[in-house]
Amino acid sequence: MLIDGEPCKIISISTSKPGKHGEAKSNIDAIGIFDNRKRQIVHPVKHKVQVPMIDKRKAQILSISGDEVQLMDLDNYETFQLPIPEEYKGQLTAGEEIMYMIAMDRRKITKV
């Protein structure tokens, strides 16, 4: 789901009952996929939301330099660099295959 232009993963959804003249509302708690910030939004239940297309792919590590890793996509052989997430620092080695995601022209390493 998009909240403030940022793709987010929904953590919880709760709904409230409609009032005498109002309509039911939904309270959505979410975490940003790329920035890990918690976001909260309240909308009418009938409100339409935008959902980003998330593509999960495999890549091979070509080299590691500092806090960045150079990757090659295993489908189209495109090479690119991504920052190494804190939870994977010290665990990556050249030649290893990893999973990454693409959403709204941004990339992130998701699984080693």
Question: Which amino acid is located at 7 in the chain?
Answer: P
> Is residue 35 located within the same domain as residue 78?
no
This prediction has a pTM of 0.80
Q: What gap in Å lies between CA 112 and CA 108, rounded to an integer?
A: 12
Q: What is the pLDDT of residue 94?
A: 92
Confidence of residue 21 (pLDDT cuts 50, 70, 90): confident
Read off the pLDDT of residues 41-65 as tens digits, 9 standing for 90 and up.
999 999 999 999 999 999 999 999 9
Confidence of residue 76 (pLDDT cuts 50, 70, 90): very high
> Is residue 60 located within the same domain as residue 37?
no
Degrees to nearest 5, angle at CA 57 with 68 and 61: 35
> Is residue 39 located within the same domain as residue 87?
no
Question: Which amino acid is located at 12 in the chain?
Answer: S
> Is residue 66 located within the same domain as residue 31?
no
What is the signed CA dihedral for 4, 9, 105, 108, rounded to 10 degrees?
130
Whether pLDDT at 79 is above 90: yes
Q: What is the pLDDT of residue 68?
A: 94
> Is residue 84 located within the same domain as residue 102?
yes
Express as a percent the part of the chain with pLDDT over 70: 100
Q: By residue range, what is the domain housing residue 32?
A: 2-44
Identify the CA nearest to 37 among candidates 82, 5, 78, 6: 6
If you write DSSP's letter for every residue of 37-78 in order, what string do you get?
-EEEEEEETT-------EEEEEEEEEEEETTEEEEEETTT--
> Is residue 63 located within the same domain as residue 104?
yes
The CATH number linked to 6 is 2.30.30.30
- Count of structural domains within the chain: 2
> Is residue 27 located within the same domain as residue 62?
no
Q: What gap in Å lies between CA 84 and CA 109, rounded to an integer?
A: 7
Assess if residue 49 is contained within a domain. Answer: no
Tokens for 48?
Answer: 């339409």
The CATH number linked to 79 is 2.40.50.140
